[in-house]
């Protein structure tokens, strides 16, 4: 099942939230900053042990002071012109996060709109990739509950249309 929520992903009370991180996994602005602030400094301590993360891949940590159990850190592509593997990389972020969730018996997971902030991915194309990748995964694994957390109005409207 897919849910659409407008708001702050750090409030999600299910099993796992996905972080739109950078390849250092050592924090940043946007949703990454919000997640680290809400989780507390132990999240950064655990992230330091992971040795970073390549674009399109995902790594799991505890959630510390957040109301969920896990944070899945994934690294979206920096958008240049769409011909440098950006669509595949963005798809991999969603698919690899979902695979990792399943491995850890996650039943409910929340995604932000990966790459659509600082990384500049066009929002409509990013939303299409996100929704299609999640739908494909759910057709194989129908038990999982996926929530899309849209922060800005434009993303929220785009997801409303697609869902
Ligand atoms: N809850 C949900 N969504 C949010 C929140 C929040 N609390 N705050 C922002 N967003 P961005 P990126 C939305 O820039 O483009 C970081 O510095 C925001 O409106 O957070 O993948 C990392 O360390 C946007 O739609 O991530 C990387 O260096 C979406 O989250 C870099 O930014 C993603 O915007 C990653 O860039």
Report all structural domains of the chain as residue ranges with CATH numbers, in order of start. Answer: 2-162 (3.40.220.10)
CA of 142 to the centre of ligand 1 (A): 28
Pocket test for ligand 1, best of 28, 31, 33, 121 (most atoms within 8 A of CB): 31
**Average pLDDT estimate for 20-34:** 98
Look up 32 and say whether it is catalytic.
yes
Q: How confident is the model at residue 108 (pLDDT cuts 50, 70, 90)?
A: very high
Report pTM. Answer: 0.98
Q: How confident is the model at residue 124 (pLDDT cuts 50, 70, 90)?
A: very high
Task: Enumerate the H helices of the chain as residue ranges.
Answer: 30-39, 41-48, 86-103, 123-140, 153-162
- Supply the pLDDT for residue 22: 98
CA of 116 to the centre of ligand 1 (A): 7
- Supply the pLDDT for residue 157: 98
C-alpha–C-alpha distance, residues 105 and 163, integer Å: 25
| 129, 38 Cβ separation under 8 angstroms | no
**Average pLDDT estimate for 19-38:** 98
C-alpha–C-alpha distance, residues 126 and 135, integer Å: 14
CA of 109 to the centre of ligand 1 (A): 17
**What CA–CA distances, in Å, run from 51 to 5, 132, 143?**
32, 30, 32
- Supply the pLDDT for residue 86: 98
- Supply the pLDDT for residue 123: 98
C-alpha–C-alpha distance, residues 151 and 124, integer Å: 14
């Amino acid at each position: 099942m897919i849910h659409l929520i407008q708001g702050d992903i750090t409030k999600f009370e299910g099993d796992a939230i996905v972080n739109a991180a950078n390849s250092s996994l050592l924090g940043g602005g946007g949703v990454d900053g919000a997640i680290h602030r809400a989780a507390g400094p132990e999240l950064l301590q655990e992230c330091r042990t992971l040795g970073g993360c390549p674009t399109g891949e995902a790594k799991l940590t505890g959630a510390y002071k957040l109301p969920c159990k896990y944070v899945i850190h994934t690294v979206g592509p920096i958008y240049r012109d769409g011909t440098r593997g950006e669509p595949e990389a963005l798809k991999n972020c969603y698919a690899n996060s979902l695979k990792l969730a399943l491995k850890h018996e996650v039943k409910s997971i929340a995604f932000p709109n990966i790459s659509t902030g600082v990384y500049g991915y066009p929002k409509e194309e990013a939303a299409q990739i996100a929704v299609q990748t999640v739908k494909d995964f759910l057709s194989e694994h129908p038990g999982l509950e996926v929530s899309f957390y849209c922060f800005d109005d434009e993303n929220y409207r785009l997801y409303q249309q697609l869902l």
